[in-house]
Structure 1
């Protein structure tokens, strides 16, 4: 790869609920703003990456686990949606070669890692990807979270895989900046905004150790445990930040009326 090619940024995206791209008739315009932000990512990047490494909130393993399947199947990891959403397909290819490269980088950092040769795509991957690359023509490899959801470990994971940015691989953390399924809608307006304001201040106005320290102490932030009773939808942010540790963040999506009233955001780093 040419040294003149700029390194790719990293992203933390809010991926929305369930199979929303296939439910436009049922959901009306609820996802228009999120969809537009995701669809704009190729323009922001300025070129087509060789592959995408996606860290989804919907996959946790005892050790960091990399998808090694060359033709990943679909995992319909949601419930209560219309029948047709259990037949949707996002047929992007996998990349066993990239999986082995990711495994090597993580091993070199002294972190536990394995390859799963069977794993398929979950909706934390295929729902946003249907908006980002609707033709499913860019290879995608998923990388799991590690059980325990230790922020420091996931920042270290991001640091370990950062060289991929110079190899034309786009690193995307896929979660939600607010994820409390029991507190959606207008009643969550104030608490979601309180946490979102803190998150934006952390992502956009700090870098390096200062940003890391704030993220390590995320649970002390305003309304943190209301926004994330369990933090699996926030932890992909740690990976995106770790892979762009000393680089500034930029807000690429923000909405304060999402799903009836909550504040949500997505960020790009580098």
Structure 2
């Protein structure tokens, strides 16, 4: 029997997609199914979720610590109703303090933020993943330095949570160049960089994976795929928390927004029953 939870890097899609209808919503059917599959493979193992969101940047680190987090509508141009939606899962001040203590023990300071609400890097994946809105959720920011080494270390410090029933999710996108995402310019860079990601986090050994990620800017089409790496950095945290364990693909789509390639990954094994 294994009870240690795996970690995930999830390409979270666009805006408040689970709350929409029509063609834009349907573009994420494969992503939604992958999240349903994750819920199925984890069963009732997670007691809480920690999301490292590419939509929350700080100078240093901050942890959401409110009991009933509100919402952060960090998108524009969507229907009016998407600015009043609510994902009603409770927060967990206890887990927030546990995260803070783990980081502090490793020499990383993080402040508690009782006011931070759920941004769409969090609620867009949790709505299909845990639609019952009953599992406590805590968010952790990324640091504006985007330092891969720092965020890998952050993941290492968080690793004990995996044995405590806490599901660690890095939420971003494997390709995030909004200027070119809806045109033909993004197709080849997204495909090439995604192929490098698969080679790095799945095909390479764990020992090979870390130095490749530290040097990610040398990857083919790296800056074409990520002009800024806010949506890639959560991957470093997910890897750091399962650094010696194998990676696997849990979502792969070649026609997002008409031609963009995107992927999500799992690190470590799913829990098994006795």
SS at match of 1:163: helix
Scaled by the length of structure 1, the TM-score of the pair is 0.96
SS at match of 2:155: helix
Distance in 2 between the 1:20 and 1:197 partners? 26
Asked if 1 retains the 8 angstrom alpha-carbon contact of 2:65 and 2:112, the reply is yes
Among candidates 118, 134, 137, match of residue 131 of structure 2: 134
Distance in 2 between the 1:198 and 1:5 partners? 30
Give ranges in structure 2 of 5+ residues lacking alignment: 269-274
Among candidates 16, 34, 38, match of residue 37 of structure 1: 34
What do the CA deviations read for 1:174-228 (whole angstroms, capped 9, x no partner)?
A: 0000000011133321111100000010010224342110000001100000000
Give ranges in structure 1 of 5+ residues lacking alignment: none
Partner of 2:194: 196
SS at match of 1:98: helix
Distance in 2 between the 1:248 and 1:242 partners? 12
What do the CA deviations read for 1:55-104 (whole angstroms, capped 9, x no partner)?
A: 00000111211111110001101111110110111000000000000000
Asked if 1 retains the 8 angstrom alpha-carbon contact of 2:12 and 2:172, the reply is yes
Distance in 1 between the 2:131 and 2:231 partners? 23
Q: Which consecutive aligned stretches of 4+ in structure 1 deviate over 3 angstroms post-superposition?
A: none
Distance in 2 between the 1:80 and 1:130 partners? 20
Partner of 1:246: 244
Asked if 1 retains the 8 angstrom alpha-carbon contact of 2:174 and 2:262, the reply is yes
Distance in 2 between the 1:28 and 1:78 partners? 15
Q: Residues 51 and 190 from structure 1, CA distance in 2 versus in 1: closer, same or farther, beyond 3 angstroms?
A: same
SS at match of 2:124: helix
Partner of 2:206: 208
Equivalenced residue count is 267
Partner of 1:102: 99
Give the Å deviation of 1:107. 0.4
Asked if 2 retains the 8 angstrom alpha-carbon contact of 1:204 and 1:249, the reply is yes
Distance in 1 between the 2:243 and 2:40 partners? 23
- CA RMSD in angstroms comes to 1.1
